[in-house]
Structure 1
Amino acid sequence: MTTRIDQRFAQLKAEGRAGLVTFLMAGDPDLGTSLEILKSLPAAGADVIEVGMPFTDPMADGPAIQAAGLRALKAGTTLKKTLALVESFRALDRTTPIVLMGYYNPIYVYGVERFLQAAKQAGVDGLIVVDLPPEEDDELCLPARAAGLNFIRLATPTTDDRRLPKVLENTSGFVYYVSLTGITGAALADYSGVEAAVTRIKRHTNLPIAVGFGVKTAEGASQVARAADGVVVGTALVNALKETLDAENRAAPQTVAAVSELVTALAGAAHGARGAGDGRRARPSWLRRIFGRIAP
């Protein structure tokens, strides 16, 4: 089985560069705007797109992504509408990998077999379900892989060499290395341990390693991309979106551009980190105000 995820990381490897993996919540701040943002991401430089499935009890998410999920739920986003969102995107883009990320409860309520059929039909390529451990692979992981979907697992700084083989046993697509313990949104102040962590994980697998949690700026993306196969950014994009909303959390004319311009800055940094071109593009002034100095 070769998926769009496998093909994209093979392409990135051949080009000698790291990829940018972007996360945004489906339906934030509304389904129409969410679709327009998704459509803008590939041209802005996103190599893989993670789409959050809104859930009422997101235990691993920080305040920004929790708020994004609540905005999406308030706007009427359901799992069925999330799949429809992906299907609408896929009608216009046949190559960019899409990963659904979230929690098992909505999938269980939807029905595993029904969900997997609908996800495959919509054009989903992989799943990240953060609250299903490897011991529960029969529940969703193995059926997902049988359906032709990658099942992507998280490794953390506390996943030691004894635990890693179990975590990686049925993982496919890529390994998502969580660069710090805790919830999403915290800043990663020290990137020095990323290379050692990636090297350690690669001793156990040939899969690409994407690093996330704590990457907020293009400068940070560049540092991570020197060691990892992919850089995952979520909270910074969610914050860029939130900064444009009005007092009632409605989208503004600049909402789509706010996200896509930040993605362009991050992609330029990630893609250029290994000398495959410096990736320099104009950085809008509002980005500098919100995130500080943005360097490639």
Structure 2
Amino acid sequence: MFRIILTRLAQGLLTLLLASIIIFGATEILPGDVAEAILGQSRTEEALASLREEMGLNRPAIVRYFDWLGGMVQGDLGTSLATKRPVADMIESRMWNTLRLALLAAAISVPLSLALGLWSAMRAGGKVDKTLAMTTLALIAVPEFFIGLILMKVFAVELKWLSASANTRPYFDFWQNFRALALPVATLSFAVLAHMMRMTRSSVINIFTSPYLEMAALKGLPKRRLVIRHALPNALSPILTVIALNLSYMVSGVIIVETVFGVPGLTRLLVDGVSLRDIPLIQACAMIFGAVYILLNLLADVLSIMANPRLRYPK
């Protein structure tokens, strides 16, 4: 098992290295550069050349890549070319907003999807099961931004119960923070809840056909006990994998949700960096999103290995 996990870890590091090459290469082919963005249309060639020399933009790309990668490994994200501030400080001020949104959505969607999946499996074929199946299928088919706009229209514009803006302040009370965060958290939760719920239901129902479950049912054990104590533990391997994969999907989902609701998180910082051609800021934000996505996919692999006895104890 440990050899398999170490192999997955090595593959994750290689994937992250490849992602860094792609991110650096993508920023290199962006039209224009930060020197042109700073000087504007009235720039002269002499001023442009001088500013590029000052910012180190004239060095070969391969040299700048390894300098940047070495700094990343040491925790140095560089200095913003547009604001002259450390990129780490700029990201730190926005990271909490993105992290809070993702953690709240995960804390709601994971237990709720497990509970609904088990409830649906215990009533397989009934009205509750069919209703949940149709609802979750619709949620999977609808994109996140559309869900967000519908929730905003109903609860913020028509009913005026919640806020359409996700801006929060330290001096806000609980209700003000709740009104600001409820819609983006709900939108992100809906984006991942449906798939996790359907996988939980499917995995538990598949276990029901196992001989030992049929024997336990013949002994007269209550269905709730069959599901929670016998079926669920044996269905955990695919469920944990899907949960980890859907949490990694939140990386892309949080970008959309932050854009729709104007959350002052990493997404807005990334967009600002692109508009200013602020290469260090763009690279740092992209690497953070990429690293989190790769890490959560790696976590899905490790959980799948640990939950599967055939992989834990290979012959």
TM-score calculated relative to the size of structure 2: 0.28
Compare the two structures and name the one with the higher strand fraction.
1
Question: Whose Rg is larger?
Answer: 2
Q: Which has the higher contact order (CA 8 A, sep 6+)?
A: 2
